[in-house]
Structure 1
Amino acid sequence: MIGKQVASSAFRAFARGQWLFCLVLPGVLFQAAPAVTQQKPDLTEMSLEELSRIQVTSVSKKEQKLNETAAAVFVITAQDIRNSTATSVPELLPAVPGLEVSQINGTRWAISARGFAEQFANKTLILIDGRSVFDPLFSGVLWSEQIMLLEDIERIEVIRGPGATVWGTNAVNGVINIITKRTKDTQGLLLSAGAGDRERSYGAVRYGGKLGGSVTYRIYSEYFDHGPAGEFSGQDAHDSWRATSGGFRIDASTSDRNAFMLEGRAFGSKAGVDDLAFSYTPPHFSPLINILAFGGENLLGQWVHKSQGGPLTTFQVSYAHFVHPETPLDVNGNRASVSIQHERHVGALHDIVFGAEFDYRNARTSMSLPMVFWTPNNPSFHITSGFLQDEMVFANGGVHVTAGLRVEHNSLSGISFQPNGRILWKVNSVHSLWAAYSLAVRSNSPTDTSVNVNIAAFTGPAGTRVLRLTPNPRIEQEKLNAFELGYRVQPAKSVSLDVATFCNQYSDLLGSEPGQPFFEAGPPRLVIPLVSQNDISGRSFGGELTTHWVPTHAVHLTAAYSFIELDLTQSSAAGNRRARSLEGPTPRHKLSVSSSVDLVRNLTFNTAFFFVDRKTTPTVPGYAQMDSNLTWRPLESTQFSIGAKNLFNKEHVEFISSTGGLSTLLGRSVYCKATWRF
């Protein structure tokens, strides 16, 4: 079972979160009366042309119009979130082309761009307000820890393709940047509550106010209780999930030249998971019902200074601490980073961005079952990097050429160089073409260089034999050479089309090969090691097509289709088994269609349809899913919604994970929700 000290620490965080919810509510109710609500314009009032000019920051770490980016970009707006059936951040993402989003069980997801999906997907960088939320040990994201009030999200920018030059390591296949609203846009009181058969209860409270002058703030807290999914035996699984989170944000400016932001969050959760316990004695694997208590805190500070003449300097510092017991290992981790960035125009042609960053991560691990262990058990590492990128504009703004380079040093794997070049040609006001080349690396993590995993065991007349994945401190970084082409067209005011194609060439991907067997005592066993090696290479190619159609002011339609072919080869004596397991979780075809229809005044019907092709190794059948909700807004400040998820299937499996936690059946569910703003 989980380590007692780690579990008790996490449970205290969970308890603090519940008290925070109770403490915030009376305070905001008391202060609600004098507040003045300030809301940003509703994005549904914008035309497609105006939406194409939304400012995005994730492509080049500076503000750019969406239609002037030489990258495959998809933006989920606040209005998309408001109309969706989602109750968590992962549920907002399936509509994004080129993004594989699968739920493993009640608390775990596998999310990745352009292939390589897994619970700890390590080739897609996840950011919240520019702060990486990658786990210090696994180089992946635990989505169950990214608990956010959806009403606080301004937009989600999803980049398919490398972003390593500006964001650094692990931005290999894509970047997901979740950007929250400024506090001046969340003034007043917000109350939200909901219930359903799967989402058994939900509640949130947020209050925004002024501290005087140009200083605004918000405080919030959220609680939910999710019921269990189904097992293949027909019984309920043990993956119910309760969580509480709370936090604050402060925005201030001393003049037109200085802006400050400080935000913090604490969360705590209790969740169950059906798993397998490993033992060196028969039976080597047995069912385990694990109750996990995890939590954490994070803090982000930012200062933006505008010099005379326009140059911008941004200084950012962040810290995150978390406690999570991932069967069969307890982890207590920390991450701290500091960065500085400068943007300036040089002459009439050049817009230069450059910066530097230092990132330190450590963790303490304790083994609760003899399945996974680190050597050493308190790994740490740091990353130091700097980047420079120049965007040049020619032909009166018709041609944009971008070139950049990041130099990065990882204490586990040494120095890497990550360049990129991009070109955008705006043929006219209707058509534009773009192309890009990038070299990106996935830096090694302690999981790659220090982890041991017992993956199989059997006992016979000759004794016990254990198959163990063992680390290799001398492995190289995984590398990607990416080539992309894109085309955008808006043939009419009501229609837009976006096409992106890619060819990715991978090298030095991690596989394994058999090592020299050795004996261990207590109980006696022969260990057959599989030593990590950079013995997999290959390529992927494919494309994504996205279209928006607004036939009338009351009807909004979005459709997206994605195709990918992933072909990997393993060169070691172990054969292609690991290569097949990397290819298998990637569906070749994916289709999504979403609509929002204003039936009558203040009554909106929203529908989202998804088709996901089958997965292989292990086999998961393809499935179709449809979610719908009906939203009524009797007042601008009041919204009621009732919805249903997974209307087509009573139960289905989306993903079978190889990194712990048994998959469960995801079934049909209904819910209702009410939101008030004062």
Structure 2
Amino acid sequence: MCRRSIPFWLCLVLLLCAGPLLAQQAASQSGDEDDAAAEEAEEVVSDTIVVTASRTEQRIHEVPAAITVLDSTALEHIPADNFGDFLRNVPGLNVSQMTTRDIAITGRSATFSLADSELVLMDNRTLYLDFFGFVMWDFFPVDPQEIKQLEVVRGPGSAVWGANAVNGVINLITKPPREMEGTSITFGGGELDTIYGSVTHAGVADKLSYKLTAAYYQQDEPYERPTGTIPGTEGPTNPGGTPYPEYENQGTKQPKFNFRVDYDQNEQALWSFSGGYSGTDGILYSGIGPFDIDTGTSMTFGKVDWTRKAIWARFYVNLLDGEAVNLLTRGIDGQPLQFAFDSNTYHIEAGNTSVVGRDRHILTYGASARQNNFDLSIAPDADERQEFGVFLQDEILLGEKWRWLIGARWDDIDPIGSVVSPRTTLMFNATPQQTFRLSYNRAFKAPSMINNFLEIVLVNQVTLPMVGPYVFPTLALGNPDLVEERLDAYEFGWVGTFGKATATISVYRNETKDDIDFFPAVFYSSQNPPPGWPLPPPILDVPPPFGLKDTLPAAFSYRNVGEVIDKGAELSLQYRPSLAWSAFVNYSYQDRSDVKGVEPVLLPSGEIVDPVNIPPKNRFNIGGFYSGALFFVNGNVNYVDEAFWTDVLDSRFWGPTDSYFMVNLGAGVYLADDHLTLSVRGQNVLDEDIQQHVMGDIISRKITAQILYRF
């Protein structure tokens, strides 16, 4: 990939640096307006309302969990190319961009390919894919301008949301049509053959309001692949090391469409009807190598919401249909492994919040039922899964300053049966704007259908001494006897607002038991050599470095194993002196995981390690924006420590990634009475070679220009 010229980007940096000077000039012309805006900003900071932590409306100082909220102003101006770019600025989140379209996000733990412990929602509708246990972030069928706020709960959420809300919950809340009246047209493009555009129209007619959006995103040129040998893979059992696999990388094409119609039945009741379509293609990385998702792979959804005061009911359908081919793994027939997947989800739920007991008990309760139907080519016995759940939460007001929240959820899920997820939080309001909390949560992750019913034969390859490359078959089987993965979380937290600034502190300890692990269940031996074995069979019984014992897997499977303890702390500060200005800084510390009950693994280099990913120890984010009457500027810097990855096949492919800084900048001008906005946005503007997973692409600089017209 060619390097870009520098002068234009120097101009961009100068423009960003000049922003404060221009802003001061504008401020001198409208001091009274700025004073009023500052007072309004203080109200915005202290009165933010969230719904994700307890499934009921709460002020941010009343939430019984650590939470970060990105509002619409921040989301419109953050220089981001995807949702990973938005969320890497949140403390506690490990974000890894693997390919042009593949993003993995995990809170308070190491992330990994096909990350499966973060529940992701759009307007309370799940985007979590139960068939493989992960999230395809490109199935958000919305333009960033449609987002009202992005709520990130940093910590378990199974007590109200059920399965898979283990390390956190991310809920994207969209704007209702009444807040978007008019039409907007967006068009942009730039480096890596990127083009995108969208058209949104919203209207209001008495009790009816509606919006329609059509959008398209395309990046034709993929990021570069790493070359050479995977670091740390050379040793006596793997002479020469493991080369990075070679395959034809792909970009992505993503058409999207969505609609929403709201009917205000009366002042207290609202009906909302929504639906949409999202398509994608490109590379999806998994533990058995990269899959190339076929064009035409899509998710279609439909949803009906009804609310009356605090009562709510919801029904939605998610229909996923796709095909993919593995670019490295071949089946026993010698052909690339094909994966066809259909997953249909039908979900209904209802809930309410009531105040009882002389207004001292705030009860939130609800129930849900879900039917999943599957047709998976690599898991032919995976047909369906049923889920039922009920939850109850009581927030007890113990006085003016003390509150005690207790609650639990019961779930019944095929095939694991009944699971109970309790939680409790004691909160002390030192002042109306300062809250201390001490909490305990239990959460769980259900095995995916692939975990339970995978059934394929893979062709593997190894370099043998005096022989060279040798191929052999490996069976991969699911395990229907898996139990749920459980997490017990303990946390101390504090949130305080001082005028225009909000600070938070969180210290946590997460204990994960019965981790679902993909492992080599059987190795070839002298009694069971692989077909066509070219060396004397006894060498398969001799440990390295003189033999090959436990190095050639005959079968992979899944198991529940051991205990992993994650400990860490998160600090954040957000300052908003006015609606035009905002700045933030946050730091996340995560100690190396304490692993128990898991057998260590010998790396080819001779080092012995636990077979778990090692997350970055330190992460640091700083940034801010100015959005005035004439222009806006925005910038942020992300620092991520080195990490170690074990979530791909076996130890021949495990390895580290280096620490990195990523600088992201954006700027734009408002023209034609704010109807027209011209902007330039850049990710990794210093063009550092950033690899966020040992098998991931090299994420280089990407600059795009955008035109937005509203009328």
Normalized against structure 1, the TM-score is what?
A: 0.83
CA contact (8 A) 1:89 1:148 kept: no
CA offsets, 1:122-158, max 9 Å, x none? 1110000001111131111012322421111100000
Which position in structure 1 is the counterpart of 2:138? 144
Counterpart of 2:404? 401
Task: Give the Cα–Cα distance (whole angstroms) in 2 for the partners of residues 467 and 237 of structure 1.
Answer: 24
Q: Which of 678, 685, 690 pairs up with 1:652?
A: 690
Q: CA deviation at 1:470?
A: 2.7
What is the CA–CA distance in structure 2 between the aligned matches of 1:506 and 1:621, rounded to whole Å? 27
Deviates more, 1:456-465 or 1:201-210: 456-465
- Distance in 2 between residues matched to 1:392 and 1:274, nearest whole Å: 46
SS at match of 1:400: strand
1:670 to 703, 707, 710: 703
Q: Are residues 1:332 and 2:342 paired? A: yes
Q: Which amino acid aligns with 1:481?
A: D
Q: Which amino acid counterpart does residue 178 of structure 1 have in structure 2?
A: L
Q: Check the 8 A contact 1:627/1:645 in 2, yes or no.
A: yes
Amino acid at match of 1:332: D
Cα distance between partner residues in 2 of 1:257 and 1:458: 67
- Larger mean Cα displacement after TM superposition, 152-161 or 254-263: 254-263
**2:446 maps to 1:443:** yes
Residue 223 (structure 1) aligns with = 216
Residue type of the alignment partner of 1:380: E
1:374 equivalent in structure 2? 379
Which of 392, 412, 417 pairs up with 1:414? 417
Aligned counterpart, 2:561: 535
Q: What aligned pairs does 1:96-495 form with structure 2 within 5 A after superposition?
A: 96-198=90-192, 200-210=194-204, 212-226=205-219, 227-232=221-226, 238-271=249-282, 292-306=295-309, 312-328=310-326, 329-347=339-357, 348-366=359-377, 373-376=378-381, 378-396=382-400, 398-452=401-455, 454=458, 456-458=460-462, 465-490=472-497, 492-495=498-501
Distance 1:575 1:468, change over 3 A: farther
Match 1:605 to one of 633, 655, 659:
633
Q: In the alignment, is the contact (CA less than 8 A) between 2:601 and 2:611 conserved in 1?
A: no
Between the two proteins, the alignment pairs up a number of residues equal to 607
SS of 1:101 mapped into structure 2: strand
Does the CA contact (< 8 Å) of 2:142 and 2:213 recur in 1? Answer: no
Q: How big is the shift at 1:456? A: 3.9
Give the Cα separation in 1 of the matches to 2:491 and 2:473.
44
Cα deviation digits, residues 360-403 of structure 1 (max 9, x gap): 1122122xxxxxx3242x4321111111111112323x222111
Q: Which one is further off, 647-656 or 437-446? A: 647-656
The answer to whether the Cα contact below 8 Å between 1:228 and 1:236 also exists between their aligned partners in 2 is: no
Q: Residue 451 of structure 2 aligns to a residue in which SS?
A: helix
Q: Distance in 2 between matches of 1:277 and 1:593?
A: 36
CA distance in 1, matches of 2:179, 2:454: 45
Paired amino acid for 1:673: Q
3-state DSSP of counterpart to 1:624 = strand
Structure 2 alignment gaps of length 5 or more: 1-35, 229-245, 327-338, 534-551, 646-654
Q: Distance in 2 between matches of 1:147 and 1:177?
A: 14
Please give the alpha-carbon distance, in whole angstroms, between the structure 2 residues aligned to 1:325 and 1:581: 31
The aligned residue for residue 613 of structure 2 is 583
Question: 1:594 and 1:471, CA in 2 relative to 1: closer, same or farther beyond 3 A?
Answer: same
- The structure whose Rg is larger is 2
Deviation at 1:603, TM superposition (A): 1.6
Q: Deviations over 1:638-658 (max 9, x none)?
A: 22211222022343211235x
Q: CA RMSD in A?
A: 3.1
Residues 609, 43 of structure 1: alpha-carbon distance in 2 compared, 3 angstrom cutoff: farther
* Contact 1:136–1:334 (8 Å) recurs in 2: no
CA drift at 1:527 = 7.1
* Aligned partner of 1:556 among 562, 582, 587: 582
**Residues in 1 aligned to 2:269 and 2:105: alpha-carbon distance in whole angstroms:** 37
Does 409-418 or 81-90 show the bigger shift? 81-90
User: How far 1:106 moved relative to its partner?
Assistant: 0.7
Given residue 105 of structure 1, which amino acid in structure 2 is its aligned partner?
T
Q: CA deviation at 1:230?
A: 1.6
**How far off is 1:590 after superposition?**
0.6
**Alignment of structure 1 residues 14-163 onto 2, 5 Å:** 46-163=40-157
Residue of structure 2 in register with 1:628 after alignment:
665
Q: Over residues 173-213 of structure 1, what are the superposed CA-to-partner deviations in whole Å (9 max), with x where a residue is unaligned?
A: 10000010111111111111111113621111011113x43
Task: Give yes or no for contact 2:489–2:509 (8 Å, CA) kept in 1.
Answer: yes
Helix, strand or coil at the partner of 2:64: coil
Tell me by how many angstroms 1:77 deviates. Answer: 0.3
Deviation at residue 636 of structure 1 after TM alignment: 2.9
Show the counterpart of 2:16: none
What are the ranges of 5 or more consecutive residues in structure 1 without an aligned counterpart?
1-41, 279-286, 307-311, 367-372, 658-662
| 8 A Cα contact 2:459 2:471, kept in partner | no
Over residues 562-593 of structure 1, what are the superposed CA-to-partner deviations in whole Å (9 max), with x where a residue is unaligned? 11124243535675889844333x21111101
Counterpart amino acid of 2:223? A
Note the C-alpha offset of 1:94: 0.9
1:571 to 588, 597, 600: 597
Q: Secondary structure at the match of 1:170?
A: coil
CA offsets 1:512-555 (integer angstroms, 9 cap, x no match): 46348799999889972244221221211101111012456654
Q: Which whole-Å CA distance do the structure 2 matches of 1:290 and 1:474 have between them?
A: 30
Q: In structure 1, what residue type is equivalent to 2:397?
A: V
Report SS of the residue matched to 2:593.
strand
- 2:26 equivalent in structure 1: none
Residues 579, 214 of structure 1: CA spacing in aligned structure 2 closer, same or farther, 3 A cutoff? farther
For the residues of structure 2 that align with 1:142 and 1:170, how far apart are their CA atoms? 15
Q: CA deviation at 1:601?
A: 4.1
Secondary structure of 2:159's aligned partner:
helix
**Matches of 1:44 and 1:674 in 2, distance apart?**
29
Distance 1:552 1:352, change over 3 A: closer
Q: 1:441 to 1:455 in 2, by over 3 A?
A: farther
Letter in 2 for 1:413: I
Match of 1:500 in 2: 506
Say whether the 8 Å CA contact 1:219–1:248 is kept in structure 2.
Answer: yes
Contact 1:568/1:580 (<8 A) preserved: no
Pairwise CA distance, 1:675: 1.1
**Do the aligned residues in 2 keep the contact of 1:123 with 1:173 (CA within 8 Å)?**
yes
Whole-Å separation in 2 of the counterparts to 1:561 and 1:274: 29
Q: 1:457 deviation in Å?
A: 4.2
> Contact 1:231–1:237 (CA<8 Å) still a contact in 2?
no
Secondary structure at the counterpart of residue 91 of structure 1:
helix
Identity of aligned residues (%): 20
